[in-house]
Amino acid sequence: MKRLIEDASRYLMNTYSRYPLLLVKGRGTRVYDYDGKEYLDFVGGIAVNVLGHCHPRVVVAIQKQAQRLIHVSNLYHIEPQIRLARLIVENSFADRVFFCNSGAEANEAAIKLARRYGKDHFGQERYWIITAYNSFHGRTMATITATGQEKVRKGFEPLLPGFKYVPFDDIDALKDALDEKTCAVMLEPIQGEGGVRLPSQEYFKEVRSLCDETGTLLILDEVQTGMGRTGRLFAYEHYGIEPDIMTLAKGLGGGVPIGAMLAREDVAASFTPGTHASTFGGNPLVCQAALATIETLLEDDRYILRECERLGEYLINRLYKLQEEFSGIIVDIRGKGLMVGLELTRECQPIVRAAMERGLLINCTAGTTLRFTPPLTITEKDIDRALDILADIFWRLS
């Protein structure tokens, strides 16, 4: 393990602040390092492993498809891709789907489609997109520009023109920023990388109305919130609205890299052959994994999603009890389903490291917020164990 970690430092680009941990196996909510030590995983690949690690249904789907056909070009029809597109459309607002490889690519596609639609329907100057401060939309040039965090954009100037930012959950600021050059408003239903920040219940209804009044597209970035993470298949269902464009990735493939950009029929019509493409997007292998993932989420009257909502409430209630005991450390608790943030009075990286030593993997975001994004298949026992570990750490800090 030591040699492999040394080789990582030597051969890989230094783009991640990695922990000194090498994971080699995973089953359900547990992962195991090179020495066989077990860890309870509340990171879930950063909201990716919605069914846990190596879910049998996903594994079998990948094995069978790998023996049949791994990759062909999108110059030809691909059976698993067609079936996946139909399943997504039948369970969402959308009429059309474009497949790619990641959340950043899905958001890049959404930005391109929104600009193309704006020019098709309103003229060449209709290309501006409004996003929110503290948002996160990806690491490509377009998506770092869309991201409302200076630290993500710094050093990559000049950025792509045509973006402006407003405070999240501030409808008046959005009204002031929106004008005849605005083609789209792009928002996360819950700001994940921004610290698990939720809007007021009425915010998205007001945004939807404003977009309808002005002919502006509403893009929802559901890369992190989608695929059951909040207790609904898509987070927009909590707010009683539908977007015009939506992006997915992370949990879509149950662990394999796949992204998707969804749109209404009239919006999708602005993409024609040659306007956008992806060599690997929607290949047979990843689509078969995604089919197995979604079918599992939907079976038994969406049992996993209902359990996600229940267990999310259980987790949040347990965190409130923890806050009563450690009010000097815990500032706030926010979340929906199994996407929960615990804001602290101090930097949380030392707590992440202390938890890892005790066999719990958890993530820090926005500097002072612990983010809980475990598999949707966790149990109350898993939650109790995780919070017992955190309680022990907080007790030592207080």
Q: Which of 244, 263, 256, 271 is nearest to 101 (CA)?
A: 256
Q: Is 221 tagged catalytic?
A: yes
377: which residues sit within 8 A by CB, 6+ positions away? 28, 29, 51, 52, 55, 304
Q: Which of 73, 93, 78, 106 is nearest to 288 (CA)?
A: 78
In angstroms, the CA 86 to CA 80 distance is 10
Report residue 166 CA to chain centroid gap. 21
305: which residues sit within 8 A by CB, 6+ positions away? 228, 231, 232, 233, 297, 376
Long-range contacts of 58-64 (CB under 8 A, 24+ apart): 58/254, 58/255, 58/289, 58/292, 58/293, 58/296, 60/292, 61/288, 61/289, 61/291, 61/292, 62/256, 62/285, 62/288, 62/289, 64/288
Total H helices, total E strands in the chain: 13, 15
Q: Is 205 tagged catalytic?
A: no
Structural element, H or E, at residue 304: helix 284-325
Q: Is 93 tagged catalytic?
A: no
Structure tokens at 218: 């509403």
CB 41 within 8 A of CB 30: yes
Catalytic residue among 42, 93, 163, 221: 221
Catalytic residue among 41, 168, 250, 372: 250
Catalytic residue among 98, 136, 168, 234: 136
Cα distances from 35 to residues 1, 22, 53, 186, 360, in angstroms, run 8, 9, 18, 44, 16
What is the DSSP secondary structure assignment for residue 23, as one 8-state letter? E
CB 332 within 8 A of CB 124: no
Q: Which residues are designated catalytic? A: 136, 221, 250
